[in-house]
Structure 1
Amino acid sequence: MSAVYINSASCISVQDTLNENILQNLHPENSSNILKAIEPIYKEFIPPAMIRRMSKTVKMSSVASHYALKEAGIEQPDAIIVGTGMGCSQDSEKFLKNVIDNHEEFLTPTFFIQSTHNTVAGQIALGLQCHAYNFTYVNTSSSLEFSLLDAQLQINDGEAENVLAGSTDEQTDRIMELYLLNNTIKKETDLPADYLNSTTNGVIWGEGASFFVVGKDKTENSYAKLKNIQINNKVELNEAQDFIRNFLAQNSLSTGDVDAVILGFSGDADSDIYYTKAMDIFPDSAQLYYKHLSGEFNTASGFSTFIACHILKEQHIPEIMMINSQKKDNLNNVLLYNHLGGNDHSLVLLERV
């Protein structure tokens, strides 16, 4: 499959990622077990009457996609592809509460209509009056990777030249309560979290939306070349290194050709051992981590892809992300490795343009 280009990148996250000098203004977050995204002033982008009817994930995605399209100079993408793990959770909760409170009678359909996972892609298309290919992937932690893979396929097959692809996930009070009860989220007593050498289970939960314009051709704004993506639902711990090596071999690379590897250390002792295994085969690469900046959530890899794009474009690695002391004069190949709780492993290979 031919490589495509990431021609713009936009992100709403726990960090102030909509402003300039992003790599210089990253701050770790490890003392709270639930992190909220820094949201823009929505009324500057969305009519007030519409804002009231939009869930947080729809609002974040509308603004992030607006920035991505504007940066790429694209008014109408040839496709809109969105990945999400939890979808419009707020409206889903409102609908279910309505069902219970009204004893399953006299229900208004609004919350149900807006609770479906493809609401985000649909709302973006409605805002743009875009009638092109519109698709949503719901594949937990590899939702963004499936969206990018589909974008690459659309371009390679000649179906599209510029694709808006992105990911989004929001928090809701009830789901956060459930995650605390089943120990998905760290207990208060386990804070502050040690992301790299954790002895406790559970993660710090975040949220956010990341959008990219993936194009057939390189432009003056291009961030990176999207070389290849590999997704595996299950990888045994003793297979992790071969999983990575085989992927690199498919792209005519060895581990020594990777200038920086970005690992999804989440502070969960049980599942982070995959990343520890991966570190062993990259002794000469810059080893980075990022979830102390974004929190863990289904599409946290959107944040790492956004940061990787800036690292390649600016040729600068933030100190706050470094695990080891390896520094490269030229950053040409960046590998992203992510999973969620030991499942849905993904590898994304980006190359400097």
Structure 2
Amino acid sequence: MSAVYINSAACISVQDTLNENFFQNLQPENSAQIVKAIEPNYKEFIPPAASRRMSKTVKMSSVASQYALKEAGIEKPDAIIVGTGMGCSQDSEKFLKNVLENNEEFLTPTFFIQSTHNTVSGQIALGLQCHGYNFTYVNTSSSLEFSMLDAKLQILDDEASTILVGSTDEQTERTMELYQLNNTIKKEENLPVDYLNSKTDGVIWGEGASFFVLGKEKTESTYAKITDIQIINKLNVDETKKFFEDFLAKNNLSNQHIDAVILGFSGDSESDVYYKNASELFLSSSLIYYKHLSGEFNTASGFSTFMACHILKNQEIPKVMMINDVNKKEIKNILLYNHLGGNDHSLVLLEKV
């Protein structure tokens, strides 16, 4: 069977991930309830007149996709697939606010038009004049994984040879207020967070955009090979180990073959139990966590995929991400495990090329 490769990776996140030296300058964030992405100077990438009409998630995605395409040396991909949990929620909130304030009269349609989840993929396609397959997945924390699975199948079926795949989510004022009211976000008295040993519920909320170019050909810029992706909506805690064992068996692997496991510890004591159960299976692997660097959000796994790509390429794990002291001479197979609040579990297996 043909392989599918990740030929470029770009990320805008709470860390300065557009900077070439970001790998050495990762700063944990455990004392704020909400952490914001470090945004680039958009004027360098988007005409100011267009930028004013774009929400944050569209601007972040536009820049991250430009970085990804440039690194892969591609002007126009065959397809664009984007995963998002919340979509363009800034414009959704603005539209609903206008509805209330104007008693449903004299509404400008702009915010409504730009509030749909597929605005991001549409805007990128317009900018590139790309008329190929264009799709948006809205599957909470497995949105990126569904996007990558779609891209992988299209490449294996020879329907496309290069596909731009991305994930993006932004914060909005009202949604953050609601998340604080329903205790999705950690209470201030429970800060700072010990991500690995938290005794309280709730998370630190982040945001960001991550984009990758997937292709059937290995290139000079290739980071990794996508071996397999598995997604399940509901999983009981006592089924976690079987979920992993079945996935490894399907790929003719055992836990000894996995050099590093990236786990999405979020500081939410109730749902982090899944990660603790999973980590018991991989005592001889390097265990890694990342949400103390990115915050939790629907497509936080984009940040972990971006980091996994760089770990495979550099053959080095940043100390700030390590849970245990296991250091492998060679990092060949990395397994990524993520979920959001105990739902929508995903496994992604990446292999060094």
1:149 aligns with 2:136: no
CA distance in structure 2 between the aligned counterparts of 1:107 and 1:177, rounded to whole angstroms: 25
Contact 1:2 1:227 in 2 (8 A): no
1:216 maps to which residue?
A: 216
Contact 1:3 1:228 in 2 (8 A): no
1:325 aligns with 2:322: no
1:224-235 matched pairs, under 5 angstroms = 224-235=224-235
CA distance in structure 2 between the aligned counterparts of 1:175 and 1:82, rounded to whole angstroms: 22
Structure 1 runs not aligned, ≥5 long: none
Structure 2 runs not aligned, ≥5 long: none
- Post-superposition shift, 1:297? 0.1
1:344 maps to which residue?
A: 344
Please state whether the residue corresponding to 1:11 is helix, strand or coil. Answer: strand
Contact 1:225 1:352 in 2 (8 A): yes
CA distance in structure 1 between the aligned counterparts of 2:3 and 2:334, rounded to whole angstroms: 14
Q: Which amino acid aligns with 2:14?
A: V
1:291-306 matched pairs, under 5 angstroms = 291-306=291-306
2:38 maps to which residue?
A: 38
CA distance in structure 2 between the aligned counterparts of 1:193 and 1:2, rounded to whole angstroms: 44
2:74 maps to which residue?
A: 74
2:98 maps to which residue?
A: 98
CA distance in structure 1 between the aligned counterparts of 2:74 and 2:62, rounded to whole angstroms: 15
Matched residues, number: 353
1:137 aligns with 2:147: no
Q: Which amino acid aligns with 1:245?
A: E
- Post-superposition shift, 1:22? 2.4
Please state whether the residue corresponding to 1:77 is helix, strand or coil. Answer: coil
Deviations along 1:117-144, one digit per CA (max 9) or x if unpaired, are: 0000000000001101000000000000
- Post-superposition shift, 1:2? 4.3
CA distance in structure 2 between the aligned counterparts of 1:124 and 1:251, rounded to whole angstroms: 35
2:9 maps to which residue?
A: 9
- Post-superposition shift, 1:3? 3.1
CA distance in structure 1 between the aligned counterparts of 2:250 and 2:167, rounded to whole angstroms: 26
Bigger shift: residues 100-109 or 84-93: 100-109
Deviations along 1:139-192, one digit per CA (max 9) or x if unpaired, are: 000000000001101101111000000100000000000000000000110000
CA distance in structure 1 between the aligned counterparts of 2:293 and 2:97, rounded to whole angstroms: 33
What is the Cα-based RMSD across aligned positions, in Å? 0.6
Q: Which amino acid aligns with 1:201?
A: D
CA distance in structure 1 between the aligned counterparts of 2:256 and 2:271, rounded to whole angstroms: 25
Contact 1:261 1:334 in 2 (8 A): yes
Deviations along 1:319-345, one digit per CA (max 9) or x if unpaired, are: 000000000010000000000000000
Q: Which amino acid aligns with 1:127?
A: G
CA distance in structure 1 between the aligned counterparts of 2:45 and 2:248, rounded to whole angstroms: 41
1:263 aligns with 2:263: yes
Contact 1:14 1:37 in 2 (8 A): yes
CA distance in structure 2 between the aligned counterparts of 1:145 and 1:16, rounded to whole angstroms: 24
Question: Normalising by structure 1, what TM-score?
Answer: 0.99
CA distance in structure 1 between the aligned counterparts of 2:120 and 2:349, rounded to whole angstroms: 27
CA distance in structure 1 between the aligned counterparts of 2:308 and 2:3, rounded to whole angstroms: 17
Runs ≥4 in structure 1, deviation > 3 angstroms? none
Question: Normalising by structure 2, what TM-score?
Answer: 0.99
